[in-house]
Amino acid sequence: MTHNTRVSIFTLALGVTWGIGTAMMLFYNGVILGAVALDYLLAGETRFLLGWLLPHGSIEIPAILLAGQAGLILAGTLIGWGQAVSLKMRLRKISADLVTLIIGVALMLVWAGIIEAFFSQYHEPVLPYEIKIGFGVLELILLALFLGKSGTRNVEKSSTF
């Protein structure tokens, strides 16, 4: 739990490298996860992989991607892209959003850590893979619904000025 939180905060902080460090961190973690997943798939262990990864990974992976998004927001703010506003004002404008994102990421990672410790690590015959996969899919659907509705009110407000 603490490792993933540190990785997420580091991924956000690497936005100060104009996003290069953030992109590299996301790419590296994606390659490692992809290599592990491919190894299990080629070994014919798809049910095991899904049963182990989905319950906590359906929250953990989007959390790390959100931390990457926060890092890229920071990078875009530092770069400025032709804005006549000072760096201090640009940073002030995004600071509340970055804090909200990283707190949300931390809460998601706490949940993923609890699920990983007390649910993902138990395999058949203790917990059937179908239950674990179903739980992970349900979490992913609920997360998608939540994130799909998040911020809609703020978007309507910010489009007025």
Give the pLDDT band (50/70/90) at residue 124: confident
- Separation CA 53–CA 15 (nearest Å): 28
pLDDT in tens, 32-42: 999 999 999 99
Residue 88 burial by CB count (10 A; 0-12/13-18/19+): exposed, middle or buried? exposed
Residue 156 confidence (pLDDT): 55
Question: Averaged over 103-115, what is the pLDDT?
Answer: 95
Domain boundaries, the chain: 2-148
pTM above 0.75, yes or no: yes
Q: Which of 43-47, 48-52, 59-63, 156-160 has the lowest mean pLDDT?
A: 156-160
On the question of a cis peptide bond just before residue 125, with omega within 30 degrees of 0, the verdict is: yes
